[in-house]
Structure 1
Amino acid sequence: MSKRIISFADADKLVKARVPRSEIQMLVKYVEGLGHLGVVTTIDKAAGEVLFQATRDTWPDLRKAVEQMGLGIEFIEE
C-alpha cells in the first residue's frame, strides 16, 4: 500500500473577504466554533477586511457555513 504525501504548503487555502465592521466579532466567534474547518483573522478592522485560513479540503464547508450566517460577506480573493 502506498501512502499519498501532501505538502502542507499545497494544502493551505487563504481567502480574503469583506464583512460589515459591526459583524466582525460575530464572524470570528462563529468560525471559532467551527475551529476544525479553519480560522479567521481581522486584517483591516476599519474596512471590514478579514482573512480566512483553511485547507483546500475544508474551505468549501467553511465558505458554505459562513454564507449561511447572513452577515453580508463579500469574498475578495480566493
Structure 2
Amino acid sequence: MSERIIPFAKSDKLVKARLPRSEIQMLAKLVEGLGHLGVVTTTDKVTGEVLFQATLDTWPDLRRAVEQMGLGVEFLEE
C-alpha cells in the first residue's frame, strides 16, 4: 500500500478568488458550514476578492462545493 505523505509545512492550499461583493457574506457563511473543508477570508471587500485556505486533500471537495453554490465565484489562482 502506497500512501502519499506530504510534509505538514507543504500541506496548505491557498486560492485567490473574486465574486460579487454582495455575495461575500453568503459565501463566508456557507463555507463556515463546511468548516472541515477550509475557510474563506475577505482580502478586498471593494473588489470582492477572497482567499480560500484549505489543505491539498480538502481543496477539491471545497472547490466543488463552492462551484455548486451559484454565487459567481471566479477562481484567480490555484
Unaligned runs of 5+ in 2: none
The number of residues matched between the two structures is 76
Counterpart residue type for residue 61 of structure 1? D
Which residue in the other structure is 2:76 paired with? Answer: 76
Could you tell me how far apart the structure 2 residues matched to 1:36 and 1:65 are?
12
User: What TM-score do you get using the length of structure 1 for normalisation?
Assistant: 0.92
Secondary structure in structure 2 of the residue aligned to 1:41: strand
Aligned-pair distance for 1:75?
Answer: 0.2
Greater than 2 Å deviation, 4+ residue runs: 3-6
Counterpart residue type for residue 50 of structure 1? V
Unaligned runs of 5+ in 1: none
Identity within the alignment, % = 82
Could you tell me how far apart the structure 1 residues matched to 2:5 and 2:20 are?
40
1:1-78 to structure 2, matched below 5 A, reads 6-78=6-78
User: What TM-score do you get using the length of structure 2 for normalisation?
Assistant: 0.92
C-alpha spacing 1:47/1:9, structure 2 compared with 1 (3 Å):
same
Aligned-pair distance for 1:6?
Answer: 3.5
